[in-house]
Amino acid sequence: MNRILFLIVLVSNVVVAQVQRHRAVTLMGSRFDITIEAKDSLSAEKYIDESITEIERIENLISEWRPQTQISEVNRNAGIKPVKVDKEVIRLTQSGIYFSKLTDCAFDISIVAMDKIWKFDGSMTTMPSAEAIKKSVEKVGYQNIEIDTIASTIFLKKPGMKIGFGSIGKGYAADKTRELMELKGVKAGIINASGDLTTWGKQHNGKYWTVGITNPFKNDDYAEVFKLKRFAVTTSGNYEKFVEFDGKRYSHIINPKTGMPSTEICSVSVFGPSAEIANGFSTSIIVLGVEEGLKLLAKFPDYSCVLITDKGKIIKSKNFKKKKLIK
């Protein structure tokens, strides 16, 4: 998932008996911006601390980069034995498998096992060979993930397989943190996980949260600006990490089925109730392309999207209406 910049219009003056506090922290390898409305500064800072604790809890379950996590243990035992994990990890893995099936492998949580033959740091001068591309995805395939819900285990059948939650993990963390804050009685806030964002409530001046999608072709401008109350929005894009060969741009978001980088769509933002689900859709649509991506999303009326093609054209799903975002 790209780190897409969002415009968050925050309010610092106290209009009623509420205050707003914001903190930026690095969690799950990304920047999180946490904004909380509370009755006083002390309470707001305490809720931000609790939000950070919740995100760290999730990271310590699902990070494939931290060796002590349950997912790292699953990956180490690929082709060897099943690993017992928490029910929460089972559920999130099932969510990843659901999107993998739904998109016919345009989304696949086992893509982290792909050979890193594409470089997006400026060092690539030629495209990988067709043989290298084909070989790079040999260990990718959600069909080889075996879940035993009774024993609460995950088994990766192929040696060298790995699973990871880079495409839905931050959205899931944003959802869970919003849920925790609402349970604690926090009336309003934003959890922004580097572009995987959830909002709830109104600001203390009575205004809705304002969120802007960066224009990929004008970094100091916004393609669209929206008002949100209780909603989620996630953005996937290819304009920050890509390579070009013969005038064609290849994104860092790879098709797990073919090993080829995605093309055609520069940015896609998906709106809906859940950041986790929106996150899965935004990643999938980048790979599927405009026509197939819109066709997929049309089956889920609670979710809508705004696409920006690599030619700069803005396309909205048929069910997209700004007024629906405020509810």
Q: Can you tell me the distance from the alpha carbon of 270 to that of 315, in angstroms, rounded to the nearest whole number?
A: 12
The three-state DSSP-derived secondary structure of 17-43 is CCEEEEEEEEECCEEEEEEEEECCHHH
Q: Which residues are annotated as a binding site for Mg(2+)?
A: 167, 283
Contact 223, 308 (CB under 8 A): yes
Q: Can you tell me the distance from the alpha carbon of 57 to that of 165, in angstroms, rounded to the nearest whole number?
A: 15
Which residues does residue 228 pair with via DSSP β-bridges, in sequence order? Answer: 209
Contact 58, 43 (CB under 8 A): no
Residue-wise over 39-53: b if at least 16 C-beta within 10 A, else e? eeeebbeebbebbbe
Taking the C-alpha atoms of 111, 117, 119 and 123 in order, what is their torsion angle to the nearest 10 degrees? Answer: 170
The three-point CA angle 158-105-281 to 5° equals: 130
Cα 278 to Cα 54, 142, 150, 303: the distances in Å are 20, 20, 29, 7
Q: Which residues are annotated as a binding site?
A: 167, 283
Residue-wise over 241-265: b if at least 16 C-beta within 10 A, else e? bbbeeeeebbbbbbbbbebbbbbbb
Is the torsion defined by CA of 300, 302, 303, 304 positive or negative?
Answer: positive
Contact 151, 134 (CB under 8 A): no
For residue 171, the SS3 value is helix
Q: Can you tell me the distance from the alpha carbon of 171 to that of 143, in angstroms, rounded to the nearest whole number?
A: 24
